[in-house]
Structure 1
Amino acid sequence: MREAEAAVMPPEVYGPEFREAYESADGVVWKLERAQNFHEPYEPSWVAMTEGDWERSLRLVDELRGSLPADYDGYAEFRRVRVVETPITPYMQWELHVLAARAEAGERARVVPVSAVRPFERSEPLPELLIFESTLMYEVLYDAAGAHLGGRRITDHDVVEPCLAALIGLYEQGEELAAYHRREVVPLPPPAVRPLAS
């Protein structure tokens, strides 16, 4: 997949294109989320978490709940495979609360342990993928700190189809995110975070 011919797009091009593809999609939209840390300064609840204000972070996540159903109502079914390593990073602890809220709103997300993806990671971790059908896949790009850089559009069926099959297989062996969240995440103490460098 990494060597496949692809159109590389900066965030300002990738974002609108992804949205258009999502709004016109039929069937199921698949997402693979592998990295354990992302940089999301545009999310107030993420910022509160990085500042050590866990109570405010969770309150802001709760405030999102009312708007989340609009992301799913009337659109294709959205299925996410979230790879989770242990011990859970502060970012993952925060994101799993967000994903639990998204699951309540209509997203169908499952968690898999890192052992489930190791067979695919001979040289490096799996990328972040969005697959719309067997002829349209995006690799979502990030820098080393987890900041969004845009995406690569891949339309070669011979590349996309095996990735889709692997993602479906991971989903089928995954645990429902809501159950994982209640058992493994809700009981955790507030995450220990280091202040971001200015």
Structure 2
Amino acid sequence: MHDLLDGLMGERMELDDYYADFEKNFWGITDLGFWKLERQQVFKEPDYDSWLAFAKGDWDEALRILEAGRADMENYHRRVEEHGFIAARVRVVEEPISSYLQWELHALRVRDQCGGSVRIVGPEQITRFEENGPLPEIYTLGSKVMYQAIYNDECVLESAVKYVDSTLIKRCQRFIQHLYEVGEPLKQYFPRRVALLPPPGPQ
């Protein structure tokens, strides 16, 4: 565990409990907003139709499904705006871009265009923070709750760890926000580094 978490131990949650807890706490955000840091370069998302199409090598279908979800994404971020908080994320991107990340950046582009701001940072911007290992996959919900995503050996989401220490949460929120402020907006990065990549093959 990276020392960004200061060695603190949170509450391990199984997925069903985590999903319900996240939903309740997300829509209860009253300060600081939602800030997410994504570090790993490869995931598997077997519950997501677009990812399944991508994994099978049907790139056109994967992108079609992402576009088909645009209206729902717009409604989601309109609801976030109505609740009065920001939902922003930082995506670490190592090059050459992995096939998974190529797909995810297309998904994030839709999110970004619908109001969920995304910025990109490279390894050179986080190296000094990773002396003790990779940064954790974390996301803060206001100043009261933070989750760390836990993945199994197959890179599939397995569980989550919940933290409620406000000092830790505020420190991690400031850290993610700092990376966001020095990061490149996805709308600038995407046309330069992603749009012209050839379709990935089956995974």
User: TM-score normalized by structure 2?
Assistant: 0.90
User: Is the contact between residue 119 and residue 185 of structure 2 (CA under 8 Å) also seen in structure 1?
Assistant: yes
1:163 aligns to 2:172 (yes or no):
yes
* CA pair 55-193 structure 1, distance change in 2 beyond 3 A: same
Deviations 1:112-164 (A, max 9, x none): 01221111111221111111233421111111222111211112233222222
User: TM-score normalized by structure 1?
Assistant: 0.92
Letter in 2 for 1:25: I
* CA pair 8-192 structure 1, distance change in 2 beyond 3 A: same
Give aligned pairs, total: 194
User: Is the contact between residue 15 and residue 150 of structure 1 (CA under 8 Å) also seen in structure 2?
Assistant: no
Provide structure 2 residue ranges, at least 5 long, that are not aligned to the other structure. Answer: none
User: Is the contact between residue 38 and residue 90 of structure 2 (CA under 8 Å) also seen in structure 1?
Assistant: yes
Report the alpha carbon displacement of residue 95 of structure 1 after superposing the two structures with TM.
0.4
Deviations 1:65-106 (A, max 9, x none): 121112212223100000001000011000000000001111
Q: 2-side partners of 1:134 and 1:60: how far apart?
A: 34
Q: Which aligned pairs between 1:71-150 and structure 2 lie closer than 5 A? A: 71-75=76-80, 76-150=85-159
Q: 2-side partners of 1:158 and 1:74: how far apart?
A: 28
Report the alpha carbon displacement of residue 25 of structure 1 after superposing the two structures with TM.
1.0
1:5 aligns to 2:5 (yes or no):
no
SS for the counterpart of 2:154 is: coil
SS for the counterpart of 1:138 is: strand
Deviations 1:154-177 (A, max 9, x none): 122332222222111100000111
Provide structure 1 residue ranges, at least 5 long, that are not aligned to the other structure. Answer: none
CA RMSD of aligned residues (A): 1.4
User: Is the contact between residue 25 and residue 145 of structure 2 (CA under 8 Å) also seen in structure 1?
Assistant: no
1:174 maps to which residue? 183
Letter in 1 for 2:30: D
User: Is the contact between residue 10 and residue 163 of structure 2 (CA under 8 Å) also seen in structure 1?
Assistant: yes
Q: Per residue, is there more strand in 1 or in 2?
A: 1
The percent of aligned pairs where both chains have the same amino acid is: 34
Report the alpha carbon displacement of residue 2 of structure 1 after superposing the two structures with TM.
6.5
Report the alpha carbon displacement of residue 8 of structure 1 after superposing the two structures with TM.
0.9
